Amino acid sequence: MSEGSRGSSLAFGQVVIGPPGSGKTTYCHAMRDFLGRLGRSVAVVNLDPANEALPCPCALDIAELVTLPDVMDSLGLGPNGGLIYCMEYLEANADWLRDRLQGLRGHYVLFDCPGQVELYTHHESLKNVFGQLAKWNFRLAAVHLVDSHYCTDPGKFISVLCTSLSTMLHVELPHVNVLSKMDLIEQYGKLAFNLDYYTEVLDLSYLVDHLASDPFFRNFRRLNEKLVEVIEDYSLVSFVPLNVQDKQTMRQVMQAVDKANGYSFGDQEHRSLEALMSAAVGADFHFSSTLAVQEKYVQSQDKAVEEEVMDL
């Protein structure tokens, strides 16, 4: 898997990025289990030198090369500076990563990355590491996790949109934005709009109008309008909702990522996916069929009500 090995076989995977607490490590291990049940050989690689309490063993851990506590102690750096140093050290020792990844040939690889936002918006080291992986014939998609509770605050949601757009433009990988922890969203308050408004990033002028009702944000209406214009002009940001406990949303994320990185699964995995979804819903999952049945049921109920009214 040398740098010039253009003829070697392709390897597919995901780089899982996002702010601290967005659920990156949980996602990696949940996706590994999900894909494993479909027959894929999946390996998790921990690239977060601050991640000391891993819930499950990883196939490769950056702690073998460098850890954040060691860097902070030896160089007198804080957490942010220490993480940046660790990523620069990883970039400078790319041959270490290349040698360790040789043993994972034939695996679908999930790279669990650090949670410092600056690493994905303007710092170069992690972006250069992703570039090296591409040279080693890895076909990767960036899975950017964002905590879904930001949807409950219009101001924070606009900030999330700006961060997501900046990350997409800087990282330069096929990109899938994910709203994580959807099962907990109701704990943070009522959404101002329907969920599809946030996932599809629909007309954001409504969000600006909603912000204007807040006395604090009223003075910044012009700024918010310009931020929204930038997001809408690029027309790149949308989200896939995710609850790692729900097989259907895991399937949606998997399919979005497979489309982004070019992974093409065979008949055997397709059959495994159908079996898995059947177990999840109790029967083969066909959304159009389900809608047809539901519509027929509603019509029959309406007809029964009408007959009862006529009898009266």
Residue 228 placed within a domain:
no
Please state the domain count of the chain: 1
- First vs last Cα of the chain: how many Å apart? 80
- State both tokens at 251: 């399937």
pLDDT score at 294: 41
CATH number of the CATH domain containing 110? 3.40.50.300
Range of the domain at 87: 11-201+237-311
Give yes or no for a contact between 131 and 193, defined as CB atoms under 8 angstroms apart: no
pLDDT along the chain (312 residues), means of 10: 55 95 93 94 95 85 95 95 96 96 94 94 96 95 94 89 95 95 82 86 87 79 90 92 93 94 70 64 41 43 52 54
Residue 218 placed within a domain:
no
pLDDT score at 5: 46
Residue 166 placed within a domain:
yes
Residue 44 placed within a domain:
yes
pLDDT score at 295: 47
pLDDT score at 152: 87
Residue 35 placed within a domain:
yes
pTM of the model: 0.82
